[in-house]
Amino acid sequence: MFRFRSQLAPSLLTVLLVFAQRSVARNAEPPRKAPDGSVLVGVDVLEEQNFDPLRGKRVGLITNQTGVDSRGRRTIDVLASAPGVKLVALFSPEHGIAGDSLNDSVGDSTDKATVLPIYSLYGKTRRPTDEMLKGIDLLLFDIQDAGVRFYTYITTMAYSMEAAASHHIPFVILDRPDPLGGVVIEGPMLDPGRTSFTAYFPLPVRYAMTIGELARMFNAENHIGADLQIVLSRNWRRSWAYDQTGLSWISPSPSLRTVNQAFLYPGVEILQAGGVSVGRGTNTPFEVLGAPWIDAETLTAELNGRNVPGVRFEATRFTPTDGPYTKQSCPGVKIQMTDRASFRSVRMGLEIADALHRLYPEQFQLQKVITLLGSQTTIDRLSSGDAPRDIIASWSDALDKFREMREKYLLYH
């Protein structure tokens, strides 16, 4: 081969070299982004519609700090000044209207700018009550989801849909992109009988649907019977993650500060219940993981030896100010995503759980990972020593059935 290439004419060699360089350059390009501002979220489209779906209605708005239009204006303020619309009440999810509360319960309050009442749906009640809904003609939902089954905002949406249906109040969703994209589905299906506030519906951990698409699924499959309307986002493609949309990232909760952390979150968050810190109370939540009983170098070598696609690990030490081991030094690993296209967060989470169980069986409480993972069979197989890749392969039939059902409710290409 070397002899043959050495005999090529210089001009042909030059052409081949240029072609090869261009090919490498194309392969190295980052995912194509939408031009800034080209993706419009539901509230932008509602503004373009001159608020027609809301005209003449007394509106209750379920929102938080992520409820803004593409110009950064709060949906609260947009609606408060909208012609023909009377905004009468606000409702907030976990973390409160400003998204900065770390408390287990959030109280009712008043919005300073509009002097409207804010009813907490993460306090004494997690559903809109009869009293809260008095005088409301329509409920509107505008919150950015995280694309993960155990993120509580989708349960707040579903509970609110149920309340709206029981009071014969129309429910309108201002849709937003799934920040993890609308293609990749990951994780085991939720076990029957494990529905809760962190698991409203039998979903895989990562479901690749927008909140509007989820609402359609919940409404039909759970027989909610809500008078449901979706104001679609415009120009979003299913293959686009949030940082490909041109939209500004607003942390949907205190610890999801970047899109990178959002991608790590599904696989890392499931591990906290097993007795490790996942970096809450640090500058890099979900990018580090540790505990006082971990040997950082040993765990790092074990995880890198597994060659988990799209990720590498570095030994580190951190001191969290929130969550498990608050103010304690935690040796552990720093998680570096190296290739988003091949990275699968739940696969990584299972590999870490398996490594912790093998290295620290007395300290890491594998059975408690069921809290968010939601699959007892998966826990049992990890406990028995089955390889994570084999466990993941066993989910395929259930995920295929989910994809078939999900297809009926998709709204974007």
- Same domain, yes or no, for 297 and 322? yes
- Same domain, yes or no, for 182 and 329? no
- Same domain, yes or no, for 239 and 264? no
Share of the chain above pLDDT 70, in %: 91
Residues 164-189 have a mean pLDDT of: 98
Residues 163-191 have a mean pLDDT of: 98
Task: Give residue 34's pLDDT.
Answer: 55
Domain boundary among 211, 244, 277: 244
- pLDDT, tens only, 327-340: 999 999 999 999 99
- Same domain, yes or no, for 83 and 181? yes
- Nearest 10 degrees: Cα torsion 182, 188, 191, 192: 50
Find the CATH number of the domain harbouring 48. Answer: 3.40.50.12170
Inform me whether the pLDDT recorded for 26 exceeds 50: no
Tokens matching residue 380: 């049992």
Contacts of 174 (CB under 8 A, 6+ apart): 41, 42, 43, 45, 46, 67, 75, 140, 141, 142, 231
- Same domain, yes or no, for 212 and 136? yes
- pLDDT, tens only, 46-97: 999 999 999 999 999 999 999 999 999 999 999 999 999 999 999 999 999 9
Instruction: Kindly state the greatest CA–CA separation across the chain.
Output: 87
Q: Which amino acid is at 361?
A: P
Residues 162-178 have a mean pLDDT of: 98
- Same domain, yes or no, for 110 and 226? yes
Neighbours of 32 (CB within 10 A): 9
Tokens matching residue 159: 């509970």
pLDDT band at 188 (very low <50, low <70, confident <90, very high): very high
Task: Give residue 38's pLDDT.
Answer: 87
- 387, part of any domain: no
- Same domain, yes or no, for 175 and 314? no
Inform me whether the pLDDT recorded for 348 exceeds 70: yes
Q: How far apart are the first and last CA of the chain?
A: 46
Task: Give residue 36's pLDDT.
Answer: 57
Inform me whether the pLDDT recorded for 22 exceeds 50: no
- Same domain, yes or no, for 83 and 131? yes
- Range scoring the smallest mean pLDDT among 7-11, 112-116, 374-378: 7-11
- Same domain, yes or no, for 216 and 342? no
Contacts of 380 (CB under 8 A, 6+ apart): none
Inform me whether the pLDDT recorded for 200 exceeds 50: yes
Q: What are phi and psi of 289, to 5 degrees?
A: -150, 135
| Burial (Cβ within 10 Å: 0-12, 13-18, ≥19) of residue 223 | exposed
State the total domains in the chain: 2
Task: Give residue 84's pLDDT.
Answer: 96
Specify the DSSP element, H or E, that contains 61.
strand 58-63
- 344, part of any domain: yes
- pLDDT, tens only, 353-379: 999 999 999 999 999 999 999 999 999
Q: Which amino acid is at 48?
A: E
- Same domain, yes or no, for 140 and 105? yes
- Same domain, yes or no, for 274 and 240? no
- pLDDT, tens only, 118-139: 999 999 999 999 999 999 999 9
Q: What are phi and psi of 200, to 5 degrees?
A: -70, -35
**267 alpha-carbon distance from chain centroid:** 11
Q: Domain span at residue 108?
A: 42-244
- pLDDT, tens only, 240-279: 999 999 999 999 999 999 999 999 999 999 999 999 999 9
The span from the CA of 91 to the CA of 206, in Å, is 26
- Same domain, yes or no, for 59 and 194? yes
| DSSP-assigned letter for residue 187 | S
- 98, part of any domain: yes
User: Strand locations in 79-137, DSSP E?
Assistant: 86-92, 109-110, 117-120
Inform me whether the pLDDT recorded for 9 exceeds 90: no
- pLDDT, tens only, 280-302: 999 999 999 999 999 999 999 99
Task: Give residue 411's pLDDT.
Answer: 98
- 34, part of any domain: no
The span from the CA of 324 to the CA of 148, in Å, is 22
Task: Give residue 33's pLDDT.
Answer: 56
Q: Do residues 211 and 143 make contact, with C-beta atoms less than 8 angstroms apart?
A: yes
Q: What are phi and psi of 295, to 5 degrees?
A: -95, 110
Q: Which amino acid is at 265?
A: Y
- 63, part of any domain: yes
To which residue do tokens 């849909």 refer? 161
To which residue do tokens 């028995």 refer? 384
- 291, part of any domain: yes
The span from the CA of 188 to the CA of 186, in Å, is 7
Task: Report strand pairing: 330-337 vs 311-318.
Answer: antiparallel
Find the CATH number of the domain harbouring 321. Answer: 3.90.1150.140
Inform me whether the pLDDT recorded for 14 exceeds 90: no
Q: Is 222 helix (H, G, I), strand (E, B) or coil?
A: coil
- 33, part of any domain: no
Share of the chain above pLDDT 90, in %: 91
More confident residue, 21 or 83: 83
Task: Give residue 5's pLDDT.
Answer: 34
How far, CA to CA in Å, does 170 sit from each of 120, 180, 245, 261?
A: 20, 29, 30, 35
Average pLDDT, the chain: 92
Neighbours of 129 (CB within 10 A): 12
- 26, part of any domain: no
